[in-house]
Amino acid sequence: MSLLEIIDDNTAKSKLSKNDDKPFKLWMPKRVVFTADAMEESYGQKIYERVSALGLRKEIAKNNRITGLRGKDERETYRIAKNTLAIVNAPPSAFNLRPIPPSADWQFHLAEGCPAHCQYCYLAGSLSGPPAIRVFANLPQILQNTIRFQRLNQVVSYEASCYTDPLSLEHLTGGLEETIKFFAEQPNTHLRFVTKFDNVEPLIGLTHNGKTRFRCSLNADIVSKRLEGGTPAVQSRLAALRKMALPKPLGGGGYPVGIVLAPIIPVPDWEIHYSQLLDDIERHLDFETDLTFELITHRFTPGSRDILLEWYPNTSLDFGEDNRAIKRNKFGGHK
């Protein structure tokens, strides 16, 4: 395919995503609350300016506690918390990075929580308390701290999406932009994150020096429509993936990219649905690109299942254990 054909084809595919039948709007929290310490941070103030420009209601707490997140039951707590963006400072423990094999050498966090409503969400049971979205105002220090974990003559990788979907918050925080620019200047490092979101435009023109891998979380359309509330349609994500992967001279971001098919769910006719998805991927990435591919089956722990069933009591997701294998971690607990 010639360069010109690739550009024309890209335009056609973008139009296709706009015609998708799943309307999507970026998340606008009903409540934005800043802790006193967060307001002392320059990045906290940048977020304050962003959310002010968006006309969102803001509060500044007198101290560093976020209150008012609990309702009369779990459902109401879920509703209140998922509408709340809290800007806080990450605690000192966030500076002791933890390894995360086999994904990356280390994990660090721009935020905790996610505004979407995926009925299998792996964050249920991983994060404690009401599922409010907490963004860390001391991000510049968190980024500087990653330098302590660099090694001479050895590439060190960092994962930034263990406890959030960072692109879901980018319009409110600009945190990914800060992070990508920071890693672009770091020797022997590699940043990766995964997302179900498609608002990649602010990332396209950034200088990343090939240090950031944009990974796109995809699923069969039927699974996404049933289980992934508050996320862009699969076709829109594919268009975003293509944009991020296309070389810069062709108007793309020129990023190394990845595909994460997760969680794979054995819906009726799963072979047909997942084959369609693979065909779609092939059509969207019809040029040479630096690509990784991950396949992840559906799993849950008894704790995360109980929380998810409280949050989504009418879910069609099968939490039965009859056809499942139990995987245990090295301490004997459920994985």
Helix (H) or strand (E) holding 44: helix 42-53
CB neighbours of residue 207 within 10 Å: 11
Q: What CA–CA distance (Å, rounded) separates 172 from 50?
A: 6
Determine the size of the site formed for ligand SF4 (CB under 6 A). Answer: 8
Stretch that binds ligand SF4, among 29-37, 111-119, 149-157, 245-253 (CB under 6 A): 111-119
CB neighbours of residue 283 within 10 Å: 13
Under the binding rule (CB under 6 A), the answer on residue 160 touching ligand SF4 is: no
Under the binding rule (CB under 6 A), the answer on residue 104 touching ligand SF4 is: no
Helix (H, G, I), strand (E, B) or coil at 265: coil
Q: What CA–CA distance (Å, rounded) separates 46 from 164?
A: 20
**Minimum distance between the CB of residue 240 and ligand SF4, rounded to whole angstroms?**
14
Under the binding rule (CB under 6 A), the answer on residue 236 touching ligand SF4 is: no
Under the binding rule (CB under 6 A), the answer on residue 241 touching ligand SF4 is: no
In the list 82, 192, 196, 211, the residue contacting ligand SF4 (rule: CB under 6 A) is: 196
Residue of 119, 116, 114, 132 whose CA lies nearest to 305: 119
Under the binding rule (CB under 6 A), the answer on residue 231 touching ligand SF4 is: yes
CA torsion sign, 223 to 225 to 229 to 231? positive
CA torsion sign, 133 to 137 to 140 to 143? negative
Under the binding rule (CB under 6 A), the answer on residue 121 touching ligand SF4 is: yes
Under the binding rule (CB under 6 A), the answer on residue 116 touching ligand SF4 is: yes
- Measured from the CB atom, is 87 or 123 closer to ligand SF4? 123
**Minimum distance between the CB of residue 70 and ligand SF4, rounded to whole angstroms?**
20
- Contact positions toward ligand SF4, by CB under 6 A? 114, 116, 118, 121, 123, 165, 196, 231
